[in-house]
Structure 1
Amino acid sequence: MLGLAQLTKKLRRIPQAAKDAAKAAVVQGANEIAAVQRSLAPVDDGDLKDSIAVTPPGGTTPPYSQPGGSRTAGPEEAIVTAGNTRVRYAHLVEFGTAAHAAGGMFEGATIPAIPAQPFFWPGYRAVRRRVRSRVTRVINKAIKDAATGG
């Protein structure tokens, strides 16, 4: 039977083991999601496809990236984004545009509707369950290993 000191020692190991396992698993999952999104991205000159990036825990996403622009990832969070300072149109490709009249230098010109070419969210939805299951499995294994002293 375990003494209180041994039990306390085991219980203190568990949170850090789970966090360490989660970091590696979420980065692996984010890279998997990004790979699927890159495969679905329409290619004109390749800039959009190349702008799909994975930001690791503690990193900062590129400026003008979608969704959400520039922000810092949490300690156990990996963020997949599309867009950067050169590619500011990822959301327009994903969701399309409606026909509209131009303003500014080309005022009065009619801009035709551009159909949506979804790549970001379908890529995410295609693998999110598999990624979530893997992360859960890895965390559970890390907890069991820490509890048994492995």
Structure 2
Amino acid sequence: MATESRIIGLAKLQKKLNAMPQIAKDEIKRALEQSANEIVELAKKLVPEDTGALKDSIGWTYGDVPRGAMTLGKVFASKLATDLTITIYAGNSEAYYARWVEFGTQKMAARPYFYVSYRANKKRAKGRITRAINKAAKKVAASR
């Protein structure tokens, strides 16, 4: 259940991202990684634990998620700044039931852990990333 986003002015943004120096990208990556770690940490605290397989399957990546994992969301418009895109996921081939625990089934009540942790950290993550972008922009402006 991925959310779809559309970006207005995508070409202009892509041009600016391509011109961004690696130092600025590193600044933004640190903020993204810190935010992803906080979301994953909370999700692991909230997930019901029987065997521990589901808890162990929660994580984040810059690349493709494991087979059978559910993700919080993706941008579908283009491959916009793929090196600055993190995907947070839960589940894998062993813990394929991640969705069932999150949303419930006819015979089992929902025990949300995944989207709850995302929503709890969303505002803080957005602020951190915005500050990192502003800091990176100031570094870029100062170096040109």
Aligned to 2:97, which of 59, 74, 89?
89
The one-letter amino acid paired with 1:121 is: Y
Query: Greater RCO between the two (CA within 8 Å, min separation 6)?
Result: 2
1:57-106 CA distance string (max 9 Å, x none): xx2211110138xxx992211111000110100000001101xxxxxxxx
CA deviation after TM superposition for structure 1 residue 21, in Å? 2.0
1:2-43 CA distance string (max 9 Å, x none): xxxxxxxxx9xx722443322222122111110011111011
Q: Distance in 1 between matches of 2:93 and 2:50?
A: 18
State the TM-score, normalized to the length of structure 1.
0.72
The change in CA–CA distance for 1:143 and 1:94 in structure 2 (over 3 A counts) is same
Contact 1:18 1:140 in 2 (8 A): no
RMSD: 2.6
Gaps of 5+ in 2: 1-15, 73-78
Gaps of 5+ in 1: 1-10, 99-112
* % same residue: 41
Is 1:129 the counterpart of 2:123 in the alignment? yes
Aligned to 1:40, which of 36, 46, 50?
46
